Structure 1
Amino acid sequence: MTGIVIAQTTIDDEDRAKELARGAVESKLAACAHVDAPFTAYYRWKNEIETAQEWRISYKTSTDRLPDLEAWVAEKHSYDVPEFVTLPVTGGSEAYLSWVVEETTGS
């Protein structure tokens, strides 16, 4: 285990996606964040199949900062139930992984 995770959320507005990405990095909740090009999402909401254009934000963060990042995204996000999922990072460049920890914890 590396102590690093990738957390993801989606949102339906490019400017809001950029704000969520930049804000998390400025707040040291993530070492970096990527905003992916728009894609089409299909999902069930209130018993209806919906279609929307969304942008995915992928945050690289330490497991220590994950609860704070999740709370921050929930507070800043415009959706009633924003996606927030995490993917464990099981390996990688030691220099990169150390950088993620330093940027999110200051150690």
Structure 2
Amino acid sequence: MSTFIPSDHTGGAAASAAVNGRARLEQADDIVVLLSNAPDMLLAKRIAHVLVEEHLAACVNLGAAMLSMYMWEGVLEGTEEIPLTIKTTVTRAPELVARLAELHPYEVPEVLVMGVSGGSASYLDWCRTQTALNRSRI
């Protein structure tokens, strides 16, 4: 792994701290964040529980209810939803998306996969460990 150094990096004491221990930044082209949502908190918790328990996701953050505005079959809809922010690896993302589709009641659930350019080395390593293929469900 290489060290991720922002382009506006100027060096100094902050630079030495950034490469030591937990504060060290690292590139992370193998980590992705998925955005989705659920129609209510109970289902959001169930989805999060399953994805983490099956080691498809290292972590799922559930946000406060928010209003989503969108067009559905030619009609403007406004629906309260619970946002989900899901962290996993590129390797696990396809299986995670398939499992999310099984758990989700929407005909077209939101699933956006966003690459991660870098992050805390210790957190990235933890994500990789939590989603390792040998930890998957049997």
Same-fold status (TM-score > 0.5): yes
- Tell me if 1:67 matches 2:112: no
Query: Identical aligned pairs, as a percentage?
Result: 36
Amino acid at match of 2:33: I
**Residue deviations 1:77-104, cap 9 Å, x none?**
0000000001111011111101100100
- Match of 2:33, SS state, is strand
The reply to whether residue 99 of structure 1 matches residue 136 of structure 2 is: no
Task: Choose between structure 1 and 2 for higher RCO, CA contacts under 8 A separated by at least 6 residues.
Answer: 1
Q: How many residues align?
A: 107
Q: How far, CA to CA, are the matches of 1:82 and 1:97 in structure 2?
A: 27
Task: Find the aligned partners of 1:38 and 1:87 in 2 and give their Cα distance.
Answer: 22
Task: Indicate the residue corresponding to 1:88 in structure 2.
Answer: 115
Provide the alpha-carbon RMSD of the alignment: 1.2
> Could you list the runs of 4 or more consecutive aligned residues of structure 1 that deviate by over 6 angstroms after TM superposition?
none
Aligned to 1:30: 57
1:21-52 CA deviation, whole Å, 9 max, x = no partner?
11100000000100000000100000000000
Secondary structure, counterpart of 1:92 in structure 2: strand
